Amino acid sequence: MPTPSQSVYELRRIKNSTDRSLREALKIYFQNVDPLIRTNTNEIIHWLDRYNEKFQDRFYIVALHLNDSMIGYGQFTYFKEEKLVFIDYMAIEKNSRKNNTFYEFVDKVKDFFINEDVEYNYIVTEVGYYKDGKELTEVGRNLIRLLKMTGFGVIKMNYFQPMLGKKNYETEIGGVLMIYTENGSKTLKLETFLQIIDTIYYKNYKRWYDDFLNEQEQLEYGSRLLELRERIRLFAKKKPEIEINGYVHLTPVNLAPTPSSNYIRLAKVLSVFIIFTILSVGIGGLVLWLRKKYNIDGSYISFISVCSLVIIIFISRVFYKNKNESISGVIEKIFNIFN
């Protein structure tokens, strides 16, 4: 038995709904998780009894104990094929939130994975922007700081937490995706990042809610996940690697470009406009001079204009890394600046 001065932390798994400690654990969960990110407790009970029978992946609920008193609730899923652990919730009773309690909780979770023979490459969790959809709350900021001090990093890419089931529109919020890597990597390949998104969206969220939605609702929910996934992909498509650590933003995430990207886009547009204006005026002046000076036929003037345009396009190719790019590719890049 620990002495009064000792603090002994222990993590105990709750395996099914008949476990007498489940009610107390769910009470801690309900009282310490914000409603905008809180899953219905009936759904949790439903999957606690069924998930591990229905899927090869593993669903876990654990309770954190301090000297035999329950003070915390943890919920996470292990996706075997992807070697990914997704932490849904880690809630600590308000009166037990001492400086080291969270660190003890995270360490006990990592030890739990070892004891359960969970071979993972990544542990991932969400932190939502749920203060008027504008900023992280102070709780969210503190959570990010705590997670970073336990080895987690921020994935520097826009992220959206999907809606929690049918018609819970307020629960679809922007957020920060945090990751713990076994090798301490500071980057993720784009393909790995998108695989993580797909695992969270389709193996975590959609799989979870399919049992509570009819066929039409399942299609609608899946379509919305696809829209969110495509938004994230659009942000990430030009980055072969995604950085880990630091805040990606402290403002709402959306499809609108940031002010800095607006300035870059404007500079590109102005540059292209100025270059083509100068070239057009130069060619036009040359054509008029030739026609006046030598009385050249209009067909020859057209031929000279086309040749000049082709020369301009070939010259513009020197500004691109791929010297074998087709003329149509160069033209496409020029027009993409305006899109």
Q: Would you say residue 70 lies in a domain?
A: yes
Q: Which domain holds residue 263?
A: 259-336
Side chain identity, residue 119: E
Indicate if 72 and 168 belong to the same structural domain: yes
**What is the Cα–Cα distance from 282 to 187, expressed in whole angstroms?**
48
CA neighbor of 122 nearest in space, from 185, 179, 37, 49: 179
> Does 273 reside within a domain?
yes
Domain boundary among 195, 215, 243: 243
List phi, psi (to 5°) of 153: -130, 160
Residue-wise pLDDT tens digits, 292-308: 666 666 565 566 666 66
- Domain boundary pick from 219, 243, 267: 243
Q: Which CATH number does the domain housing residue 208 bear?
A: 3.40.630.30
Shared domain check, 279 and 234: no
Among 193, 216, 243, the domain-final residue is: 243
Query: Vertex 78, ends 59 and 89: CA angle to 5°?
Result: 65
Residue pLDDT, tens place only, 104-145? 999 999 999 999 999 999 999 999 876 555 667 777 888 898
pLDDT tens digit sequence for 158-170: 899 999 998 888 8
Q: Do 163 and 210 reside in the same domain of the chain?
A: yes
Q: Are residues 181 and 69 in the same domain?
A: yes
pLDDT value of residue 98 = 81
Q: What is the pLDDT of residues 213-244, one digit of tens each?
A: 999 999 999 999 999 999 999 988 878 899 99
Say whether both 80 and 228 belong to one domain: yes
- Report if residue 160 sits inside a domain: yes
- Is residue 4 assigned to a domain? no
Q: Domains in the chain: how many in total? A: 2
Which long-range CB contacts under 8 A does 99-106 form with residues at least 24 apart? 101/9, 101/66, 101/71, 101/72, 102/146, 102/150, 103/146, 103/149, 103/150, 104/9, 104/64, 105/9, 105/11, 105/64, 105/72, 105/74, 106/147, 106/150
The contacts of residue 25 (CB under 8 Å, 6+ apart) are 14, 61, 63, 70, 73
